[in-house]
Each structure stands twice: as structure tokens, then as C-alpha cells.
């Protein structure tokens, strides 16, 4: 039995993500939770002719039942940006939503993998980890900030500049976090094509601020949902492939708690941070190995330095929210 729960399943990301997860033959039960409309989404998806059972759970009192026996919980619950907002501006509303969901996970499915999509990811992942630590059920191998959209965008945007770069099969490492300057694509590691310094500069900027393109185009109607659903399904499916099927050697860039995770000491020491996104090999228990940061160009070193200083504040903000209520 592999039960996957989507929290925020009736939303802009939640619906297409749930649709994509309904296609997975590794999921036997898809539980859709939201404070509104999850029953309708579940009824609709439940008619699709794949083997998984779909259940809908609406409202706080239905959450424990949704989470019970969960193998994996994916969290795209919370408000999205509007033009002129930063991801950090979402903290006010989303921090409390994510904290409360994490508390329920601690009580009802303490061993589940938790995949955090809700922004600001740089702070919401520390929130989840601090809640689990307080409940004495924290396993750093099991909590992930989903930064896959940055990886997906990197491949696509590079392909637009260099059509010979195949975007579906070539993965680009993205380190740091998930907001503006904290997103650092490691373009110097791409071997298939070469770039001029100007191309590197403009591609890096586009990847860092790709989210803003969508927020602007949607003009008040939210942020990326469909590309995010695709990226979220990709990360979930890869984790299930590694943890359920036992396929080895699967790697994705993801934002994780460094201390206590296998292989993470080097990155923890060189960044001085407790949380960072980098390539992670996935396995039966979640994180199997945090891969060392690759060799960086001079420009990338400077970008990582900037990312680290911004991440410090984001991480502290998340931790303080849980520990001091500030
Ligand atoms: P949305 O408003 O369309 O959907 C959010 C859903 O969350 C709604 O259905 C809402 O009812 C639900 N919700 C609110 N409070 C809840 C609670 N306490 N419990 C369960 N569900 C609750 O928003 P969206 O476009 O789907 O975006 C969701 C979040 O994902 C935002 O914070 C957004 O910034 C973030 N996001 C992250 C990435 C990423 O790369 N990690 C990409 C895109 C969007
Ligand atoms: C994104 O990168 O598209 C998401 O984080 C949503 C946003 O606010 O930009």
C-alpha cells in the first residue's frame, strides 16, 4: 500500500498535480485534502481508469483521516503571489498553514516523506523540520523542499538558447534555495553545449526570476501552477521510484536539512547553513546521499555567496516562527 496525500489538492497546483499522480502505478491510494472542494476533485479523478483509489477529505476535522498511513505527503497548500509581491511576502499567511499541517503529520504519519511546495520554501521547510523536531519525530532524510521547477526551467530555458541541448533528458543542477537570488543554476557543469559570458548571465537571471514571468503574465490570477504540477509530479515520482521500487542512483536537486543527512557535512561546512538545495541521491529512506557541491565558476561562487546570506535570514525566520512564535 502506498498512500500519497496532497494537502491543498483543490488549488491551482493541487488539481493538476493530483491528476498527474493518478497516472502513477506506484500509488495505491491518493488522498486529496483541502479546506474546500476536495470532495469534487476526488470524485472527478476517481473515474480515471488507473488502479489507485482516490478519496476526498474536506476541512480540518478530516485531516487526520487523510494523513493516516501516508507514505508521502505533498503540500501545495497556501496563497500564491500576485504581481509586486516577493515569495517572502507570503510568509504571513503560509507559515501558519504549513506549521499546522506539519503538526498533523507529526501526529498522524510521523514516518511519511513530506514534500513542501508552499512558498516561501526557504522558510517553510525549516518550519516543517522544527515542528517535527519538537514532536521528536524528525528524520532529516524525509523532508524535502520541492525546487524541481527551477531545474525544469533551467533545462527548458537553456534549450531555447541552445536547441541542440535536449531538455527532457539533460538535467541541470540548481543549488541554494527557491527565490530570486537564492536560486543558483550551475550552468558551468553543462557539457553538451557552451555559452558566452553574456548567455550565462541572461540565462541565470531568467532562471532566478522565472517565477516572476508567470506571475506577471497571470496578472493577479496567481503564479505557476501547471509547470509546478509537472515539476511536483516529477519529484514525487522519482522519490517513489527510489523508495518504493528501490531503484538506485536517482538524483534530483532539492532543498533539505543538512545536519544529520548522509553525505551532507561538506555542504554544511562550506555554506555554514542548516538548509540548502543541491543534488541529492534518493533511496529507500528518502535522502540516500547529499552530493557535494560541484566545482563552481567564479561567477557561480559569487552567486552562491549572495544566496547564502539571503538564505540565512529565511531559515532563521522559519525556525523562529515555530520556536518563539515570532
Ligand atoms: P491556490 O490558491 O490556487 O491553491 C492553494 C490551495 O490551498 C487552495 O485550494 C486552498 O483552499 C488550499 N488551502 C489553503 N489553506 C489550506 C489549509 N490550511 N490546508 C489545506 N489546504 C489549504 O495556490 P497555488 O497556485 O496552488 O499555489 C500554492 C502554493 O504553492 C503557493 O504558496 C505558491 O507560492 C506555491 N508555489 C510553489 C512553487 C515551488 O516551486 N515550490 C511553485 C509554484 C507555486
Ligand atoms: C515559482 O517559482 O513559479 C513559484 O515559486 C511561484 C512564484 O511565486 O513565483
> Could you identify the atom of ligand 2 that is nearest to the CA of residue 150?
2
Q: What is the pLDDT of residue 22?
A: 98
The verdict on whether residue 12 carries a ligand-binding annotation is: yes
**CA–CA gap between residue 244 and residue 236 (Å, rounded):** 11
| Strand segments (E) across 136-216 | 143-145, 174-176, 183-185
Asked whether 210 and 87 are in contact (CB, 8 A), the reply is no
Residue 226 CB less than 6 A away from ligand 1: no
The complex scores an ipTM of 0.99
pLDDT along the chain (326 residues), means of 10: 98 98 98 98 98 98 98 98 97 98 98 98 98 98 98 98 96 98 98 96 98 98 98 98 98 98 98 98 98 97 98 98 91
Q: Which ligand minimizes its atom distance to the CA of 208?
A: 2
* d(CA 136, ligand 2 centre) in Å: 32
Q: What Rg do the C-alpha atoms of the chain give, in angstroms?
A: 19
What's the distance, Cα to Cα, between the start and end of the chain in Å? 40
Q: What is the pLDDT of residue 326?
A: 79
**CA–CA gap between residue 71 and residue 65 (Å, rounded):** 13
Residues involved in catalysis: 178
Kindly report the protein residue whose alpha carbon is nearest to atom 39 of ligand 1. Answer: 117
**CA–CA gap between residue 5 and residue 32 (Å, rounded):** 6
Q: What is the pLDDT of residue 325?
A: 84
Amino acid at each position: 500500500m502506498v498512500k500519497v496525500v496532497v494537502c491543498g489538492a483543490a488549488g491551482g497546483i493541487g488539481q493538476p498535480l493530483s491528476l498527474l499522480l493518478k497516472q502513477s502505478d506506484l500509488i495505491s491510494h491518493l488522498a486529496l485534502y483541502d479546506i474546500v472542494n476536495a470532495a469534487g476533485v476526488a470524485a472527478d479523478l476517481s473515474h480515471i481508469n488507473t488502479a489507485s483509489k482516490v478519496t476526498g477529505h474536506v476541512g480540518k476535522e478530516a485531516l487526520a483521516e487523510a494523513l493516516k498511513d501516508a507514505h508521502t505527503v505533498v503540500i501545495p497548500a497556501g496563497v500564491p503571489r500576485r504581481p509586486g509581491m516577493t515569495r517572502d511576502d507570503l510568509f504571513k499567511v503560509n507559515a501558519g498553514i504549513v506549521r499546522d499541517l506539519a503538526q498533523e503529520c507529526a501526529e498522524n504519519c510521523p514516518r511519511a516523506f513530506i514534500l513542501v511546495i508552499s512558498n516561501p520554501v526557504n522558510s517553510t521547510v525549516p518550519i516543517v523540520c522544527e515542528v517535527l523536531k519538537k514532536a521528536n519525530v524528525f528524520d532529516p532524510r524525509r523532508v524535502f523542499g520541492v525546487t524541481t521547477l527551477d531545474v525544469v526551467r533551467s533545462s527548458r530555458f537553456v534549450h531555447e538558447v541552445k536547441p541542440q541541448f535536449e531538455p527532457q533528458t539533460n538535467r541541470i543542477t540548481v543549488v541554494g534555495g527557491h527565490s530570486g537570488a537564492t536560486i543558483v543554476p550551475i550552468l558551468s557543469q553543462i557539457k553538451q553545449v557552451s555559452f558566452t559570458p553574456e548567455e550565462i548571465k541572461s540565462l541565470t537571471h531568467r532562471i532566478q526570476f522565472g517565477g516572476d514571468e508567470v506571475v506577471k503574465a497571470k496578472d493577479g490570477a496567481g503564479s505557476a501552477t501547471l509547470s509546478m504540477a509537472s515539476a511536483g509530479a516529477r519529484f514525487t515520482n522519482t522519490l517513489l521510484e527510489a523508495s518504493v521500487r528501490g531503484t538506485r542512483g536517482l538524483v534530483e536537486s532539492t532543498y533539505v536539512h543538512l545536519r544529520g543527512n548522509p553525505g551532507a557535512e561538506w555542504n554544511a561546512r562550506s555554506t555554514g547553513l542548516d538548509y540548502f538545495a543541491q543534488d541529492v541521491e534518493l533511496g529507500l529512506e528518502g535522502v540516500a546521499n547529499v552530493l557535494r557541491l560541484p566545482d563552481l565558476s567564479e561567477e557561480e561562487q559569487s552567486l552562491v555567496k549572495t544566496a547564502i546570506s539571503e538564505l540565512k535570514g529565511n531559515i532563521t525566520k522559519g525556525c523562529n516562527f515555530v520556536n518563539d512564535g515570532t
